[in-house]
Amino acid sequence: MITDPLFYAAAIPAVLIAGISKGGFGSGLALVAVPMMSLVIPVPMAAAIMLPVLISIDFITVWVYRRDWSRADLKVMLPGAVVGTLV
């Protein structure tokens, strides 16, 4: 368990910034969450702490919007997504 107060001083704002950004209010500010935390802990540990947070945010978003999707948009975006993932 991390007991360093400096860690919490960096982690709490980083998680809040990531949540607000993923909610659509902070544009691309979620990119600063891991670098902000890596100022006080090693980078792999910062990424490992943020990954479950970001996955849970994405899971909740998909669950909330599970009935609001467009088949036409999916047909346009899916081929590019598959190619981009393979590359």
The pLDDT tens digits of the residues spanning 12-70 come to 999 898 888 877 776 778 888 889 999 999 999 999 988 998 898 889 888 988 898 89
Q: Output the pTM of the full model.
A: 0.68
Could you tell me if 4 and 40 are in contact, meaning their C-beta atoms sit under 8 angstroms apart?
yes
Token duo for residue 4 = 């360093």
What is the pLDDT, as a whole number, of residue 30? 80
What is the pLDDT, as a whole number, of residue 69? 86
Could you tell me if 65 and 23 are in contact, meaning their C-beta atoms sit under 8 angstroms apart?
no
What sign does the dihedral 85-32-24-57 (CA atoms) show? Answer: positive
What is the pLDDT, as a whole number, of residue 61? 83
